[in-house]
Amino acid sequence: MKTDREVPEACYPGAMAEHATRLAEVISALEDELLFVVTGAGVSAASGIPTFRGSEPDAVWKVSDVELATFEYFQQDPVGQWRWYLKRFDSVETARPNPAHEALVELESWQTARGGRFQLVTQNIDTLHERAGSDRLIKIHGTSAKLRCATANCKHGAPTGSIDRADVDVASFRADPSRATLPRCPACGGLLRAHVLFFDEYYQDHADYRFDQAMDLARNAGLFLFVGTSFSVGVTDLFLRVASEGDIPAFSVDPGAAPPPYFPIVHLRAAAEKLLPQVAKMVSQMAREPSSPW
């Protein structure tokens, strides 16, 4: 059966404008309902941050990224994992927010200014949403801005503790990566680790992931907007399930592969950094033109 859920990018003139109009219409119609946005690696790709699990030729550690980002690997080879994360943190630091990040800030401002609700949940550990100015933000996979003690129940460790990465001196480890120079917790002397959700860990392992809050908010969403998510990570599946069960409309903006076919979701095949600025501009124009036929 042919449906309108799949529209190829720019296969005909004006496709991008049609996508933008369609999305602007549904966002505008939300009024005070919750606009629930989920972003993935695709939103940061235009800022030059390699996708974590993607198959692009320049994707970092494509050989065994899933294996590297595990607690098991941290325990086996903390030096190797620290070297990997430092390289990743460095690439994140030099990146700048792109027009997709900025458009999401505009949508948040616009939606909240009219008394509506807005929530952004990102799977990205980079800090580009914060630096662009996003306020209602849940970093469900952790953040590159922090580290934590690997020793449970240390004040800097799970379930609630962390430490700013800027406060940790990694110079000696950088100069001579070894077990002796591994960054250590200032409170207990244990090893520090990335403040991120490893693939062999659970969302409930740390309060900062705010998983339960994200799920509660999702159940009250008026619209789901997935941006640059590959749908290969468990949490997007959970959100899609919520959307499906609650009959909540869902859109995906991504230039790549279509979302899983077993959920009702409209796929707008487009690059977020091109489409979202148009959408943000359109919704603000709609607000100024109350007589327009929306």
**E strand or H helix at 11:** none
> What is the torsional sign of CA 168, 173, 178, 180?
negative
By CB under 5 A, the count of residues binding Zn ion is 8
Q: Which of residues 73-132 bind Zn ion (CB under 5 A)?
A: none
One of 16, 95, 188, 207 touching Zn ion (CB under 5 A): 188
One of 116, 190, 249, 264 touching Zn ion (CB under 5 A): 190
One of 10, 105, 154, 207 touching Zn ion (CB under 5 A): 154
Peptide bond into 159 cis (omega under 30): yes
For position 187 contacting Zn ion by CB under 5 A, the verdict is yes
One of 185, 196, 275, 276 touching Zn ion (CB under 5 A): 185
Q: Which region among 71-79, 142-150, 238-246, 263-271 touches Zn ion (by CB under 5 A)?
A: 142-150
> How many other C-beta atoms are found inside a 10 Å radius of the C-beta of residue 73?
19
Nearer to Zn ion, 190 or 246 (CB): 190
Give the residue numbers annotated as catalytic, written as ranges: 141
Nearer to Zn ion, 30 or 149 (CB): 149
For position 149 contacting Zn ion by CB under 5 A, the verdict is yes
Nearer to Zn ion, 189 or 261 (CB): 189
Residue 292: both structure tokens together:
């327009």
The candidate with the shortest Cα–Cα distance to 88, out of 46, 132, 125, is: 125
CA distance 38 to 91: 22
> What is the torsional sign of CA 47, 44, 12, 25?
negative
Which residue pairs from 154-159 have beta carbons closer than 8 angstroms and sit at least 24 positions apart in sequence? 154/185, 154/187, 154/188, 154/190, 155/187, 156/185, 156/186, 156/187, 156/188, 156/192, 157/185, 157/190, 158/205, 158/206, 159/205, 159/206, 159/207
Q: Which of residues 19-38 bind Zn ion (CB under 5 A)?
A: none
Q: Which region among 32-40, 62-70, 188-196, 218-226 touches Zn ion (by CB under 5 A)?
A: 188-196
Nearer to Zn ion, 138 or 168 (CB): 168
Tell the smallest beta-carbon distance from residue 149 to Zn ion (Å). Answer: 3
Give residues in contact with Zn ion (CB under 5 A).
149, 151, 154, 156, 185, 187-188, 190
